[in-house]
Amino acid sequence: MATTVLKNISEIRRFFHRNEDPVYFISATNFNLLGIDEWVKNFKYICYIDCYDGKHPNVFCPSEQPHAEFQSIEDINNYLLQHKEVIDFIKRRGGKPKFVFLMFDEETERLSKEFGADVWFPKAKLRQSMDNKIETVRIGNKAGVPSVPNVLAEVKSYEDLRATCEQGGIGHDLVLQSAFGDSGHTTFFIKSEADFRRHEHEIIGEGEIKIMKRIDCRGSAIEACATSQGTIVGPLMTELVGFKELTPYRGGWCGNEILSTAFPPKVRNQARDLTFKFGEQLRKEGYRGYFELDFLIDKKTGDLWLGELNPRITGASSMTNHAAFAHADAPLFLFHLLEFSKKKFNLDVDELNNRWADPEMIDGWSQMVIKHTDDSVDICTSAPETGIYKMLEDGRVVFDRFDYHRRAVESENEAFFLRILGPGDYRYEGADIGILVTRGRSMTKAFQLNDRARKWIHGIKQSVSGRPLPVAEASPAFADPAFKIM
C-alpha cells in the first residue's frame, strides 16, 4: 500500500478519506481551512477562539489560561502548543501528529518537535525570508513577474525619501511597504510630510523599505500550490480593500469575491500564467506547498503587477477551497497536504489547471471581514452567533439556524456568519467582529460595496452591543499646603 502511486484525483480523494495520520490545523480560529475536515479523515482544528460555542465536532478549544495579550498569530499558536489540555488532546488521539498553521516561527517548530509532530510547511526561516517584500520582488523578477515601479531603500527622513524618489523617477505620490507584515498594517500611503509623520516610527530605522509609485489599480488575489508535479493554480479573486464600513485600515484587506467574470479573460489568463511561473520559481528556491499572490491590476491599461507574496494559507483560502471546482475535484489545500504526506502521486497539472480555468468551474461567492470601525473602546456584551442569517424584506438581518457549512447558504438572501468577537472581549477600533460569507457579489461592477453588502454589514454590526469601560472623574481642589500624606 505504501509504495503505490496515486494516479488520479479520485485516488487522491480516497487516500485522504482513508487517512489514519492525525492532522491538526492550529490557529486562532479554523476559518482559513473551513471544511477541510470533511475531506481528510482524522483532521482536527485546535483553536484559541471558539466561534461555534462548542458545536463544531472537529474544533477543539482549550479553556483559557492566563496569558499576556498576544502580539501575533505565532504567539497564539505557541500558547496553544504549551496548553496542557491541547497536549493531552493530541496525546490521547495518538499517532504521529502533523501540524499545519497559518503562521508559525522557530519557537513553534521547536514546540512541534517536542510533540514529535511534523510541521507540514517549509521551514519558518525559509518562509520568513520569502515573506520579506523585498525578497518577493527579487523572486518575481527571476520568474518574469514584474512588480510595480519601485525603489528599495532605507529612509532616514521625509527629505531623504523625496530625494530617493526623485532619483528613482517614481514621483511623490507613494505607497511604502516595510519588509514584513500584512497589508494595511505595513502599507503606508504617503503624499505629504504630514502623512510621513504619522508613519515615520514604522519607516525610519526599519531597514530597506519598498517604495512604490502609487498606481490606480484594483487588488486581486490568487492562490496556488507548488507541488512536485508542478504548480496548481486556483482562480483569480477580487479583493475588497479599505472599505470604511469594514475596516479602519486604509488599503487594508477586508474580503474577497470569487466569480468567473470578475476580470476580463485576458487578465485572468495572464494572472494564472504568472502565478504558475512564480510557483515554479518558488520550487527552485526550495519552497513548496500553498501560497498566495496579490496582483495589482492597472485600471487603465489592464497591466498586471505583482503586489505581494504570502507563502502560506491566507484569509482568502476559504474562498479558493470552497469554489465549485474544489468540490468537483478537490480543494487546493488537499494538494498541499498531499505534497507533505510524502505519498507518491502522478498528476497532470496542466490538465487540472486548464479545467480550473474554465469559467464553468466557478460559482459566485463573497466574503467580508467585518471589523469594529468606530473610534471607541468598550466591552462586548452580546454578539451574533455563528450560523446562517436571513435578510428580511425590510433589510433586517436575523439569525435563522446554526450551521458551520458555508455551502448551507441557499440564496442571496442568506449568509453564513462566523463569529470572532464574543461577549467579554474588548471591542476596539480594528477588532474583528466576524466574517460574513454570501452568495453572489458584494461589490458593484465599479468595485464599490453594493447596497446588499451594506445592509448585511449594518445588520450584523447592529446586533453587537457593549458596555463602556470605567472612567475616573478627578476633581481638583485647592488645598492648604501644610502637610502631605504619604
Partner 1 sequence: MYWRAISEDQPGPKWAGLFREYWPDYQRWWLKEGDSMRASYMESVRMLKRHMPEMLPLYDQLCELAGGGDQASRFLSFYCPPPYLSGCSQALWPGKAPVLVRNYDYNPNAFDSLILHTNWQGRQVMGTSDGLWGLVDGMNDAGLAISLTFGGRRIVGEGFGVPLILRYVLQTCTTAAEAEEVLKRVPTHMSYNVTVVDRTRKYFTAMMAPDRPTIITHAAVATNHQENVEWISHARFTATVERERYLLQRLTLHRDTEDKFIAAFLKPPLYSTAFDHGFGTLYTAVYRPRKKQMEIRWPGTTWPLSMDAFEEGTRQVQIPGAA
Spell out, one character per residue from 24 to 63, where the chain touches partner 1: x when CB under 8 A holds, - when not. Answer: ----------------------------------------
CA angle, 207 then 205 then 252, to 5°? 75
Position among 70, 89, 115, 447 found at the interface with partner 1 (CB under 8 A):
70
Position among 1, 2, 5, 486 found at the interface with partner 1 (CB under 8 A):
486
User: Which residues sit opposite 369 in a β-bridge?
Assistant: 435
Question: For residues 151 and 148, what is the distance between their CA atoms, to the nearest angstrom?
Answer: 10
Position among 7, 18, 67, 84 found at the interface with partner 1 (CB under 8 A):
67
User: Which residues sit opposite 212 in a β-bridge?
Assistant: 150, 175
Q: Which is nearer to partner 1, 141 or 192 (CB)?
A: 192
Binding residue count for partner 1, defined by CB under 8 A? 43
- DSSP helix/strand/coil, 91: helix
Question: For residues 246 and 468, what is the distance between their CA atoms, to the nearest angstrom?
Answer: 22
Position among 20, 54, 63, 69 found at the interface with partner 1 (CB under 8 A):
69
Question: For residues 84 and 246, what is the distance between their CA atoms, to the nearest angstrom?
Answer: 36
Q: Which is nearer to partner 1, 141 or 381 (CB)?
A: 381
Grid coordinates in use for 418?
462566523
Restricted to residues 440-479, the positions that interact with partner 1 (CB under 8 A) are 468-479
Position among 5, 20, 63, 66 found at the interface with partner 1 (CB under 8 A):
66
Provide, rounded to whole angstroms, the least separation between the CB of residue 335 and partner 1. Answer: 35
DSSP string, 240-274: EE--TTT-SSTT-EEEEEE-TTSS-HHHHHHHHHH
DSSP string, 278-323: HHHHHHHTT--EEEEEEEEEETTT--EEEEEEESS--TTHHHHTTS
Provide, rounded to whole angstroms, the least separation between the CB of residue 426 and partner 1. Answer: 7
Q: Which of the ranges 28-36, 68-76, 391-399, 458-466 carries the binding residues for partner 1, by CB under 8 A?
A: 68-76
Provide, rounded to whole angstroms, the least separation between the CB of residue 201 and partner 1. Answer: 4
Provide, rounded to whole angstroms, the least separation between the CB of residue 66 and partner 1. Answer: 6
Restricted to residues 109-128, the positions that interact with partner 1 (CB under 8 A) are none
Task: State yes or no: residue 71 binds partner 1 (CB under 8 A).
Answer: yes
Q: Which of the ranges 345-353, 359-367, 399-407, 427-435 carries the binding residues for partner 1, by CB under 8 A?
A: 427-435
Q: Which is nearer to partner 1, 84 or 250 (CB)?
A: 250
Provide, rounded to whole angstroms, the least separation between the CB of residue 170 and partner 1. Answer: 23
* Sheet bearing 426-427, strands edge to edge: 426-427, 378-382, 465-468
Question: For residues 325 and 330, what is the distance between their CA atoms, to the nearest angstrom?
Answer: 7
Restricted to residues 185-204, the positions that interact with partner 1 (CB under 8 A) are 188, 194, 197-204
CB neighbour burial string for 381-401, b if at least 16 within 10 angstroms, e if fewer:
eebbbbbbbbbeeeeebeebe
Could you tell me how many residues make up the chain? Answer: 486
Q: Which is nearer to partner 1, 398 or 469 (CB)?
A: 469
**Alpha helices (H) in 41-174, listed in sequence order:** 73-81, 84-93, 106-115, 124-131, 133-143, 158-168
How is residue 57 annotated by DSSP? Answer: T
Restricted to residues 117-176, the positions that interact with partner 1 (CB under 8 A) are none
Position among 2, 5, 68, 446 found at the interface with partner 1 (CB under 8 A):
68
Provide, rounded to whole angstroms, the least separation between the CB of residue 157 and partner 1. Answer: 9
Question: For residues 385 and 401, what is the distance between their CA atoms, to the nearest angstrom?
Answer: 10
Spell out, one character per residue from 356 to 395, where the chain touches partner 1: x when CB under 8 A holds, - when not. Answer: -------------------x-x------------------
The site for partner 1 (CB under 8 A) is made up of 66-71, 188, 194, 197-206, 248-250, 375, 377, 426, 428-430, 468-479, 481, 484-486
